[in-house]
Amino acid sequence: MVRLRFAPSPTGYLHVGGLRTALFSYLYARQQKGAFIFRLEDTDQQRLVEGAEDNLIKMLQWAGLEIDEGADKGGEYGPYRQSERLPVYHKHAQQLLDDGNAYHCFCSSETLDAMRDEQKAKNLPIRYDGRCRHLSSQDVEEKLKVESSHVVRMKIPENEQMVMSDLIRGTVIIETDQLDDQVLIKADGFPTYHLAVVVDDHLMEISHVVRGEEWLPSLPKHLLLFRYLKWRPPQFAHLPLILNPDRSKLSKRQGDVAVEDFRDKGYLPEALVNFIVLLGWNTAGDQELFSFQELIENFSFDRVGKAGSIFDNEKLNWMNQQYLHQLSPDELFERLIPYIRDTAFADQDETKLRKVCSILQPRLVTLADIQDKLSLFFEESPQLTDPELIEALREDSAQTVLRAFQEEARNTEAITEDNFPAIMKSVQKSTGIKGKKLWPPMRYALTLEKNGPDLPLVAGVFGKKRCLRMIEQALNL
């Protein structure tokens, strides 16, 4: 059975790149009827952020990922928080020490700084020079007895060419001479990510490790640890970077990267998921919209590209619109409620709110767009502000149309969605104005927008009184 884990560090929020990693693991786990595991990599005590774990889990749930085993859920392979597994790491660090694959290093930070400065000055690669590798066991024992601060480092073999395989990159070759004797246990007694990840992936019987490309340089270290501990390594898939349109690495500085920001802006989880999976995974044909089930069925690592993928907001907007427009009126309204709640119109009559939302549906790119659009229907007297439209409404023919409509409307008992076209027909007849000179002025006057929602629908919800008020206002510009 395949077992895949998503193993974020609790550093505050779920990055869209993290969501992609989680998704690829999840899709494959579901497709292969395996398990999806959530493991919290919280061994860096300086980077802990309160509430981060809950937030990560909440955002995964929002995106539709169900965790089978994990920190909040339990499971046979727990605990799933690394901070609760310290004895396990120490046991394996000891094993590495006993077998001569790791050593104690007593170098102080001053010593390390001096080493770095010297290497810099000589233009050498910056790395630990291995000076504690050669301490005698007697030396080590004595130093440990006086409790000198120390770390445990792994021994990297010299002059070895490591040939590794990656599900996305194929064969990857790295020379061990490029590698540092990685710290495995820090001075505070906590393991580093490198030791913990290997121990946990083994003990949790992880079959496939999916993670960002930034971890590729660490792969040889991890594979060495698997070798030293005589374990069979899982398969690896290192995902390409996600880039800004200018091809720089996607970062908070250039816009939103937290999944919760996208939720708050009104992106639908199914749209964001679809969009994010396509950042890297290329489909065979032209299809771009995939249901979750289709993603599960179709996903494969061999269609994940090596090149970085550009995060194109326009495309995300397009996709969100596609999903939004497919929602039934009831579903749409349910999803809009949290956004309406933040407006001044939350307490309006629900039937009317529902009607207005369905009229606005084709005009929404995100759910949050509803917030600016409600005022047209619920504000006492919404104002036209666009100078171009004001200009257009001041034209003689526009004024003629508006006046004729006023006339017709006054003589009509009620204005409804159904009789609005007939009223317009009469306006056309009485004024002799039609087409581009007839409809736009009415649209600007009633919707205050160039491409507002469907006119008969708007007029129907407005009713006679509000229609007349809007026309009056347009006549007085």
User: Least separation, in Å, of the C-beta of 201 and ligand GLU?
Assistant: 8
Nearer to ligand GLU, 17 or 441 (CB): 17
Nearer to ligand GLU, 20 or 443 (CB): 20
The span from the CA of 471 to the CA of 423, in Å, is: 14
Say whether 338 sits in a helix, a strand or coil: helix
Tell me the two tokens of residue 354. 């529902």
Nearer to ligand GLU, 47 or 429 (CB): 47
User: Least separation, in Å, of the C-beta of 156 and ligand GLU?
Assistant: 19
User: Least separation, in Å, of the C-beta of 190 and ligand GLU?
Assistant: 14
Rg (CA), the chain: 31
Handedness of CA 273, 277, 279, 283 (dihedral sign): negative
Residue 88's Cβ-count burial label (10 Å; 0-12, 13-18, 19+) is middle
Nearer to ligand GLU, 201 or 270 (CB): 201
Tell me the two tokens of residue 382. 């919404």
User: Least separation, in Å, of the C-beta of 47 and ligand GLU?
Assistant: 10
Residues that bind ligand GLU in the complex, under the rule CB under 6 A: 7-9, 41, 193, 197, 209, 211, 215
33 part of the active site:
no
Q: Which of 120, 252, 425, 465 is catalytic?
A: 252
User: Least separation, in Å, of the C-beta of 7 and ligand GLU?
Assistant: 4
Q: At what angle do helices 387-394 and 396-410 cross, to 10 degrees?
A: 80
Nearer to ligand GLU, 106 or 215 (CB): 215
Residue 319 in contact with residue 274, Cβ under 8 Å?
A: yes
**Which whole-number Å values give the CA distances from 77 to 10, 37, 204, in the listed order?**
20, 10, 6
User: Least separation, in Å, of the C-beta of 324 and ligand GLU?
Assistant: 32
Residues in the chain: 477
- Helix and strand numbers (H, E) in the chain are 20, 12
Nearer to ligand GLU, 18 or 308 (CB): 18
**Which whole-number Å values give the CA distances from 442 to 73, 128, 458, in the listed order?**
58, 75, 11
Residues involved in catalysis = 252
